Structure 1
Amino acid sequence: MLDAKLRPLIDPPLNAIGRTLAGAGVSANALTFTGLALGLAGAAAIALGHIGWGLALIIANRLLDGLDGAVARVRGPSDLGGYFDIVADFAFYVSIPLGFGILAPANALPALVLVASFVLTGVSFLAFAVIAGKRGATTEAHGKKSFFYSTGLAEGTETILVFIAMCLMPAWFAGLAYAYAALCVLTVFQRSAMAVVAFSD
């Protein structure tokens, strides 16, 4: 919901840094895997009770996630890079609820529900992308991507804001997890309605 609105604000500085990194020989895939390692380390820190470190590593992960795309735009995007990017994103997304679920037994059920909602949202996102790509649909609302990005109520920006809220208010994890899981399910219904409109011919 917020991703496309933020692109005009975040792309110029990211692209400037991306040009510098690309000129220094840094590859987009290296940034993707480094970002994933930092994100998973953040989940591990949360699981061990170091939530402040977890928050810092979450932010670092998102910064590198933005920079890998910026470098790819300079060097030229690749299908393999697009594949690694989306796999790394979803691995990171599910790891944070897992970290909170390990942190406290009371978090286990809401963490499981949130991870399940992420899986469902991810399936709807990727299924839409496959069919849209098959039909030749294109969009750059989320910037130049390797495949079709459909919009939704729950996107990357909303997910990160929820993760930050969880780190700042860990006692509210369950309520935040259930509320965001509900928004993810609503996103699946929204995307399904979009599919009915776009693919019913």
Structure 2
Amino acid sequence: MFDAKLRPWIDPPLNRIGRALAARRITANAVTAFGLAVGLLGAVAIANGLFLLGLALIAANRLLDGLDGAIARASGPTDLGGYFDIVADFAFYVSIPVAFGFVDPANALASLVLTACFVLTGTSFLAYAVIAEKRKAQTTAHGQKSFFYSTGLAEGTETILFFVAMTIFPAAFVVLAYAFAALCVATVIQRSILAAVSFAN
């Protein structure tokens, strides 16, 4: 919901850093892999009750996720890079609710529900992208991407805001998880309505 609105503020500094890193032969795929490792370490930290460390590693993961795209734009995006980027994103996203399920058995059901909703949201996102690509649809609302990014109520910014809230207020995880799961379901419904309108003919 907020991703496209934040792009004009976030992209210019990231692009400057991305050009500098690309000039030093640092590849986007290497940064994607490193960012995924950092994000998964954040999940491990949360699973062990180290919430502030988890928060710091989540923030680092998101910074690296922005940098890999900036490097790709500077050096030339590739299909393989686009594939690795989206797989790394979803691997990171599902790891956080799973980590909260590990740290406290009382979180298990909410963790399972949120993880399932992430899978559903990701499926709708990728399915829309496949059909949009088939129809040669294009959008620059989310910047230059390897494939079509459809807009939704729950996007990257909203996900990170909820993750931050969960790590700062871990006792409220169950409430936050169900609230975000509901937002994910609403996003799937919204995207399905958009698909029904866009792909009707």
Amino acid in the other structure paired with 1:155: E
1: distance between equivalents of 2:28 and 2:141? 21
Partner of 1:72: 72
Establish whether residue 24 from structure 1 lines up as the match of residue 24 from structure 2.
yes
The aligned runs of 1:102-113 (5 Å cut-off) are: 102-113=102-113
Establish whether residue 14 from structure 1 lines up as the match of residue 14 from structure 2.
yes
2: distance between equivalents of 1:20 and 1:74? 9
Per the TM alignment, residue 114 of structure 1 is displaced from its structure 2 partner at its CA by: 0.2
Question: When the two structures are superposed, what TM-score results if normalisation uses the length of structure 2?
Answer: 1.00
Per the TM alignment, residue 117 of structure 1 is displaced from its structure 2 partner at its CA by: 0.3
Per the TM alignment, residue 159 of structure 1 is displaced from its structure 2 partner at its CA by: 0.1
1: distance between equivalents of 2:187 and 2:48? 32
* Structure 1 consecutive aligned stretches of length 4 or more whose deviation exceeds 6 Å: none
Partner of 1:62: 62
Per the TM alignment, residue 132 of structure 1 is displaced from its structure 2 partner at its CA by: 0.2
Amino acid in the other structure paired with 2:164: I
Partner of 1:91: 91
2: distance between equivalents of 1:148 and 1:192? 15
Q: Matched residue of 1:188: which SS? A: helix
Q: Matched residue of 2:77: which SS? A: coil
Per the TM alignment, residue 74 of structure 1 is displaced from its structure 2 partner at its CA by: 0.5
Question: When the two structures are superposed, what TM-score results if normalisation uses the length of structure 1?
Answer: 1.00
Partner of 2:190: 190
Q: Matched residue of 2:16: which SS? A: helix
1: distance between equivalents of 2:102 and 2:61? 20
Q: Unaligned regions of 5+ residues in structure 1, if any?
A: none
Query: How many pairs are equivalent?
Result: 201
1: distance between equivalents of 2:21 and 2:109? 42
Q: Matched residue of 2:111: which SS? A: helix
2: distance between equivalents of 1:52 and 1:81? 31
Partner of 2:181: 181
Q: Unaligned regions of 5+ residues in structure 2, if any?
A: none
Q: Matched residue of 2:191: which SS? A: helix
Deviations 1:48-79 (A, max 9, x none): 11111100000000000000000000100000
Amino acid in the other structure paired with 2:20: T
Establish whether residue 146 from structure 1 lines up as the match of residue 132 from structure 2.
no
2: distance between equivalents of 1:24 and 1:164? 32
2: distance between equivalents of 1:189 and 1:49? 34
Per the TM alignment, residue 115 of structure 1 is displaced from its structure 2 partner at its CA by: 0.3
Per the TM alignment, residue 44 of structure 1 is displaced from its structure 2 partner at its CA by: 0.2
2: distance between equivalents of 1:17 and 1:165? 28
2: distance between equivalents of 1:101 and 1:189? 26
2: distance between equivalents of 1:13 and 1:94? 28
